[in-house]
């Protein structure tokens, strides 16, 4: 059993939103590792960061991704920082991985109103987002089968692009 597609990318790229629509389109189930983590920990992600720290969140995340890759055969969305773990990047080498990209301005706009992402909750979200992109872009590209820029398109259009890119690549 293996996911039809694993979706990675920065916060606000639309992994959850587009991932769900993509699963609908392909007629397969959708699973989001962030939701798995919330269920496992029994509390929201912001509370895990506050109570237990980022390192503990990443430990739980690494295990949750590994389990989901084994168990899920639909579309699987990861959290934006899952690719930071080398062990996760190694596992992803065996999978079809869709990298949804988003630029700093649009990423900050999309995530700006939410308090659910503790990493972006600081005083300067634009600088934080910029630094996050600089650190992670090479990692997303290392694992990606296809890369789709989401800045200028609605989720439904992005789904069509993903399906096209995956069909062309297979």
- Residue ranges of the annotated binding site are 12-17, 34, 58, 80, 117, 136
The single residue among 9, 16, 35, 53 that binds Mg ion, judged by CB under 5 A, is 16
101 binds, among ligand S3P, ligand ADP, Mg ion, none (CB under 5 to 8 A by kind): none
154 binds, among ligand S3P, ligand ADP, Mg ion, none (CB under 5 to 8 A by kind): ligand ADP
List binders of ligand ADP among 72-131 (CB under 6 A): 80, 110
How far is residue 71's CA from residue 37's CA, in Å, rounded to a whole number? 15
Site string for ligand S3P, 58-97 (x = CB under 6 A): ---------------------xxx----------------
Q: Which chain residues interact with Mg ion by CB under 5 A?
A: 15-16
- Interacting residue ranges for ligand ADP, rule: CB under 6 A: 9, 11-17, 80, 110, 150, 153-155, 158
Would you tell me which residues interact with ligand S3P (CB under 6 A)?
11, 15-16, 34, 45, 79-81, 117-119
């Amino acid at each position: 059993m293996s996911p039809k597609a694993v979706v990675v990318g920065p916060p606000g790229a639309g992994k959850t939103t587009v991932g769900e629509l993509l699963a609908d389109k392909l007629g397969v189930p959708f699973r989001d590792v962030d939701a798995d983590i919330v269920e496992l920990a029994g509390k929201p992600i912001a509370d895990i960061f506050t109570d237990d720290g980022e390192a503990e969140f990443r430990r739980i995340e690494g295990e949750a991704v590994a389990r989901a890759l084994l168990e899920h055969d639909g579309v699987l969305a990861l959290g934006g920082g899952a690719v930071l773990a080398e062990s996760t990047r190694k596992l992803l080498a065996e999978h079809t991985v869709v990298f949804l990209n988003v630029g700093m301005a649009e990423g900050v706009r999309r995530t700006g109103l939410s308090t659910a992402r503790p990493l972006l909750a600081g005083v300067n979200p634009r600088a934080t987002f910029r630094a996050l992109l600089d650190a992670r872009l090479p990692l997303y590209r290392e694992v990606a089968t296809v890369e789709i820029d989401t800045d200028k398109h609605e989720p439904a259009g992005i789904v069509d692009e993903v399906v096209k890119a995956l069909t062309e690549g297979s």
